[in-house]
């Protein structure tokens, strides 16, 4: 393969310009709008970036100024952020689901002077907190629907106006943008990436141009991509996973990024594009599998028979594929027939037909999910990393996929395990630290190593195994260690269980609060003629409790250690939710908050005399109305198996 190390000497805008020179006419971006895919070539990409960049300069944005992006996935996010970076400015992504108060806090903390919003929904948040963010000079918006009332106020600006300003400046001084781009260097900070932070205010990791580009280069060193490959952008842009692709991988390889029409259509649009690689949190893969199952279940008998037969073959073949061993000739033949008759049409239905590799990261994925995807011919692999190391530092290699590990480090990434069992890494992709938080930075980058905060070990094959957050590991009253996340994942691997919270710190035994999966359990209940109305109703059905009981029993049977066994559990009447503060934006459990919120349930879990309890569920709707519903929650104690 060609040597691409020279790309590391560019900043992102410089690399964009380099792409224009080498493949200017090729498609760089595609956006679905009005039902059509509208392409942008690298030329147009650069041109729009220039317009946005010079426009920003005209409204007083300059070196080291910060611009926040609260946007859906649209090409303009890239134009504006890279345009800002070309001026030496720093972009920062904020999740679209962030509440106004939080937005104000973040803007204040990051010293943001300009905000770019996709639509009225986001603009309204700023209107709400306007007096709390005096530093914000301008709010730029992309979609002008519903913005009629704001037009008179100079605080707001449509992106077309920004472009017009940029165009004007370019006409006056055609060399200006080039000069500005030349001034940048790869070690400048270009983006502040909010880390999800399971507690308190998010921290802004200072990412440099080189962080992203190095990441893109090293990743594609292992899993090469063609210039003609396609990627569908549907992860939130504020998440490192999306920036890693648009700033890193796409720039390093020249692939095209496709932006879906809307969040709701992302999966349908993915099917139209048929990407060559994709990243996703485990939830996406779990959802897709559930959909396949449901559809197969509703299919004709012959289809079902074929599916069940070839699935078995596929699983056997997957075993060989994952370990890189050679398949026996008969199996190879049969799995070839299975691919042709069953799996290719099947994956075509979900848009995975051209997918060479699918990556999952952010949380653990059940081993049988790996087997499932590998069986239907989707090369699903685990990745691992933190925001602070530009998302990915470890991943599975083709033919060496072990579901219980996160794989091996990327090239040019050093790693070791500290004496406390913490995973430490070092590479060109490690952040410069946290914005305005030198103590936190010191902690993070002590002795030149990135401290992940995750406990882990290296297994016999040289793969990294992640156990849990160092701070989350719990000990029972006997002092025996266990990882709540590890046990929660075990529970979540059951298709009927969507979410689980494990308790047991300084207690005699482990207990769990369980969320059933509304779709799978709902279908299960329908098939058995169990009628239910709401999620709450479904969750209190005794038959559902039996089902969960059996699942827990299964998990207990396979528990590695005696103290891993779940002794008591209860099914929660509501789904844990981001909006209720129970999960982080990336879907991780806010353990402390959940513990406090469900204190009474926790106490009942550890009082074996209590079999059921009346609870008042408190709901807050989107429009601010609240209501309380009374329900009875039952607690189940697992019988010891003889």
Partner 1 sequence: MSSLTVSDVTLTFGGLHALSSVSMELKPGLVTSIIGPNGAGKTCILNCISGFYHPSKGEIHYNDHRLTRLSPHQVSKIGISRAFQNLELFRGLSVLDNLMLARHKNLQYNLLQAFVYWGKASRLEAENREHVEKVIDFMELEPYRQKVVGSLSYGVQKRVEVARALTLSPQVILLDEPMAGMNVEEKEDMVRFIFDLKNEWGLTVVLVEHDLGVVMDISDYIYVLDFGEIIGDGNVQQVASNPKVIEAYIGEE
The residue ranges that bind partner 1 (CB under 8 A) are 33-36, 145-146, 148, 261-262, 264-265, 268, 621-623
Nearer to partner 1, 300 or 621 (CB): 621
CA distance 498 to 539: 12
Least distance in Å: CB of 625 to partner 1? 9
Nearer to partner 1, 5 or 33 (CB): 33
Nearer to partner 1, 205 or 288 (CB): 288
Nearer to partner 1, 96 or 586 (CB): 96
Task: For residue 219, give the DSSP letter.
Answer: H
Least distance in Å: CB of 541 to partner 1? 24
Least distance in Å: CB of 272 to partner 1? 10
In sequence order, what DSSP letters do the residues of 321-360 get, joined into one string? HHHTPPPPHHHHHHHHHHIIIIIHHHHHHHT-TT-SEEEE
**Phi and psi dihedrals of 143, rounded to 5?**
-95, 120
CB 432 within 8 A of CB 390: no
* Dihedral over Cα of 322, 251, 262, 122: its sign: positive
Least distance in Å: CB of 144 to partner 1? 9
CA distance 94 to 109: 12
Nearer to partner 1, 36 or 477 (CB): 36
Least distance in Å: CB of 266 to partner 1? 9
Which tokens sit at 539? 């969750």
Least distance in Å: CB of 620 to partner 1? 14
CA distance 64 to 52: 16
Nearest to 366 by CA among 385, 351, 382, 384: 382
Nearer to partner 1, 147 or 559 (CB): 147
CA distance 298 to 485: 34
Least distance in Å: CB of 390 to partner 1? 32
Which tokens sit at 642? 């003889």
Nearer to partner 1, 32 or 469 (CB): 32
Tell me the CA distances in angstroms from 70 to 76, 341, 597, 615, one per residue in order: 11, 45, 30, 38
Nearer to partner 1, 417 or 575 (CB): 575
In sequence order, what DSSP letters do the residues of 59-102 get, joined into one string? TT--TT-EEEEE--S-HHHHHHHHHHHHTT-EEEE--TT--HHH
CA 598 to chain centre: 27
Nearer to partner 1, 493 or 535 (CB): 535
Nearest to 162 by CA among 246, 261, 264, 55: 55
Nearer to partner 1, 35 or 479 (CB): 35
Which tokens sit at 598? 């469900």
**Residue 304: partners with Cβ closer than 8 Å, 6 or more residues away:** 296, 297
Least distance in Å: CB of 627 to partner 1? 12
CA distance 541 to 592: 29
Least distance in Å: CB of 117 to partner 1? 17
Maximum CA extent, the chain: 85
Nearer to partner 1, 153 or 480 (CB): 153
Task: For residue 261, give the DSSP letter.
Answer: S
Nearer to partner 1, 36 or 135 (CB): 36
Nearer to partner 1, 267 or 363 (CB): 267
CA distance 340 to 322: 20
Least distance in Å: CB of 120 to partner 1? 10
Least distance in Å: CB of 515 to partner 1? 23
CB 123 within 8 A of CB 147: yes
Least distance in Å: CB of 262 to partner 1? 5
CA distance 566 to 511: 5
Least distance in Å: CB of 127 to partner 1? 16
In angstroms, what is the C-alpha Rg of the chain? 26
Secondary structure of 370-399 in the HEC alphabet?
Answer: HHHHHHCCCCEEEEECCHHHCCCCEECECC
**Phi and psi dihedrals of 96, rounded to 5?**
-65, -20
């Amino acid at each position: 393969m060609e040597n691409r190390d020279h790309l590391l000497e560019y900043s992102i805008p410089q690399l964009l310009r380099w792409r224009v020179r080498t493949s200017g006419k090729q498609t760089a971006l595609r956006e679905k709008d009005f039902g059509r895919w509208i392409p942008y070539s690298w030329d147009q990409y650069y041109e729009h970036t220039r317009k946005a960049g010079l426009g920003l300069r005209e409204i007083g944005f300059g070196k080291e100024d910060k611009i926040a992006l609260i946007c859906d996935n649209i090409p303009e996010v890239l134009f504006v952020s890279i345009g800002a970076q070309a001026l030496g400015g720093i972009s920062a992504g904020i999740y679209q689901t962030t509440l106004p108060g939080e937005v104000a806090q973040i803007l204040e903390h990051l010293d943001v002077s300009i905000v770019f919003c996709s639509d009225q929904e986001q603009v309204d948040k700023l209107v709400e907190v306007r007096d709390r963010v005096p530093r914000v000079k301008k709010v730029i918006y992309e979609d002008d629907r519903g913005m009629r009332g704001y037009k008179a106020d100079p605080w707001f600006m449509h992106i077309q106006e920004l472009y017009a300003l940029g165009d004007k400046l370019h006409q006056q001084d055609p060399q200006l943008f080039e000069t500005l781009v030349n001034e940048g260097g790869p070690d400048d900070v270009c983006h502040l990436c909010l880390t999800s932070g399971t507690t308190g205010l998010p921290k802004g990791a200072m990412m440099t141009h080189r962080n992203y580009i190095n990441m893109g280069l090293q990743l594609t060193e292992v899993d090469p991509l063609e210039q003609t490959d396609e990627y569908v952008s549907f992860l939130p842009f504020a998440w490192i996973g999306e920036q890693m692709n648009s700033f890193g991988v796409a720039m390093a390889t020249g692939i095209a990024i496709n932006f879906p029409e809307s969040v709701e259509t992302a999966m349908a649009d993915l099917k139209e594009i048929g990407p060559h690689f994709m990243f996703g949190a485990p939830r996406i893969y779990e959802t897709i599998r559930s959909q396949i199952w449901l559809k197969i279940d509703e299919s004709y008998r012959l289809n079902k028979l074929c599916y069940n037969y070839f699935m078995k073959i596929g699983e056997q073949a997957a075993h060989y594929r994952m370990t890189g061993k050679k398949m026996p000739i008969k199996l190879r033949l049969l799995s070839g027939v299975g691919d042709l008759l069953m799996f290719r049409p099947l994956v075509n239905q979900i848009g995975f037909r051209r997918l060479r590799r699918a990556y999952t990261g952010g949380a653990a994925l059940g081993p049988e999910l790996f087997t499932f995807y590998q069986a239907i011919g989707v090369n699903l692999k685990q990745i691992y990393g933190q925001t602070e190391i530009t998302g990915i530092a470890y991943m599975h290699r083709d033919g060496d996929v072990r579901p219980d590990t996160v794989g091996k480090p990327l090239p040019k990434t050093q790693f070791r395990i500290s004496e406390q069992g913490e995973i430490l890494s070092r590479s060109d992709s490690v952040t410069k630290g946290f914005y305005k938080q030198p103590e936190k930075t010191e902690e993070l980058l002590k002795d030149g190593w990135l401290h992940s905060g995750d406990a882990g070990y290296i297994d016999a094959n040289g793969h990294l195994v992640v156990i849990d957050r160092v701070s989350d590991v719990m000990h029972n009253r006997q002092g025996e260690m266990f990882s709540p996340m590890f046990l929660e994942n075990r529970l979540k691997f059951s298709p009927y269980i969507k979410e689980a919270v494990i308790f047991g710190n300084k207690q005699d035994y482990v207990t769990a609060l369980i969320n059933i999966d509304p779709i799978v359990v709902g279908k299960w209940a329908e098939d058995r003629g169990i009628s239910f109305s709401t999620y709450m109703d479904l969750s209190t059905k005794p038959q559902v409790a039996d089902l969960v009981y059996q699942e827990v029993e299964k998990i207990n049977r396979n528990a590695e250690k005696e103290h891993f066994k779940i002794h008591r559990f209860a099914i929660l009447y509501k789904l844990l939710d981001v909006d209720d503060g129970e999960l982080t934006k990336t879907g991780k459990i806010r353990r402390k908050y959940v513990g406090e919120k469900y204190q009474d349930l926790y106490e009942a879990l550890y009082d074996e005399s209590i079999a059921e309890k009346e609870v008042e569920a408190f709901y807050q709707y989107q429009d601010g109305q609240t209501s309380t519903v009374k329900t009875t929650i039952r607690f189940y104690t697992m019988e010891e198996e003889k």
